[in-house]
Amino acid sequence: EAGVAQSPRYKIIEKRQSVAFWCNPISGHATLYWYQQILGQGPKLLIQFQNNGVVDDSQLPKDRFSAERLKGVDSTLKIQPAKLEDSAVYLCASSFTGTGGEKLFFGSGTQLSVL
Amino acid sequence: DAKTTQPTSMDCAEGRAANLPCNHSTISGNEYVYWYRQIHSQGPQYIIHGLKNNETNEMASLIITEDRKSSTLILPHATLRDTAVYYCIVRVVTGANSKLTFGKGITLSVRP
């Protein structure tokens, strides 16, 4: 079965610019997650969707980050304006229902460098 | 915040068993123990999870102590491709809002 697809693989921007990342989860997976992974640290959950509704966005910096999953399938994560500290790998993951006994499947991530 | 503690790093020889420890002394009765690993430049990959009983699959075995306060992930015959960061995570069993919260993990280096 196809895995979680993310694009682009790499992105380099200057501070104060905008950037967007795209994720296509595994077909049939209702739950979609965006994680941020700073070098040397474990992934940190930014936002969790259940279908097209937000379940948890408590760690999303809402002044500059936004995410949507309009049709309950694909999702985009946007940063506007970017700061130097946003340099990280942005990982998308999906699972069937989001309950505690399930596996999460991760994409390969988008590596963002903010100069 | 992560609810587990792991050593920072360990190594083992290729072909030997790798035993990765994890402490989760504050685990609740409704929390699973999960293990993921992350190979360089890739997203995390699910390995195994368990609630109370020991578990085994094609990748690894998970041994959970009777009091559930600690566990050990066992890779029975480590290969160079097993070099990765391994994350031990506790996760609430029920509810759609069941977070997977990562710590820093343990870096396993498999030497030839």
Average pLDDT in the B19-36 region? Answer: 93
The three-state (H, E, C) secondary structure of B62-97, written as one string: EEECCCCCEEEEEECCCCHHHCEEEEEEEEECCCCC
Average pLDDT in the B59-79 region? Answer: 97
- Among the partner-chain residues A40, A42, A100, the one whose CB lies closest to the CB of B102 is A42
pLDDT band at residue B96 using 50, 70 and 90 as cut-offs: low
Q: Which chain B residues are within 8 Å of A103, Cβ to Cβ? A: 46, 49
A90, A79 contact by CB (below 8 A): no
* A91-106 tens-digit pLDDT: 999 998 777 678 899 9
- Among the partner-chain residues A43, A50, A93, the one whose CB lies closest to the CB of B96 is A50
- Nearest alpha-carbon partner for B101 in A106, A50, A110, A43: A43
Give the pLDDT of residue B23. Answer: 96
Give the pLDDT of residue A52. Answer: 87
**Preferred mutation among B1, B37, B102 to probe A, highest tally of A CBs within 10 A:** B102
Greater confidence (B19 vs B2) lies with B19
pLDDT band at residue A71 using 50, 70 and 90 as cut-offs: confident
A60, A39 contact by CB (below 8 A): no
Give the pLDDT of residue B98. Answer: 72
Average pLDDT value for chain A: 94
Average pLDDT in the B36-45 region? Answer: 96
pLDDT band at residue A77 using 50, 70 and 90 as cut-offs: very high
Write the DSSP symbol of residue A70: T
**Preferred mutation among B40, B46, B85, B94 to probe A, highest tally of A CBs within 10 A:** B46
B42, B74 contact by CB (below 8 A): no
* A40-56 tens-digit pLDDT: 999 999 999 999 899 99
Average pLDDT in the A47-73 region? Answer: 93
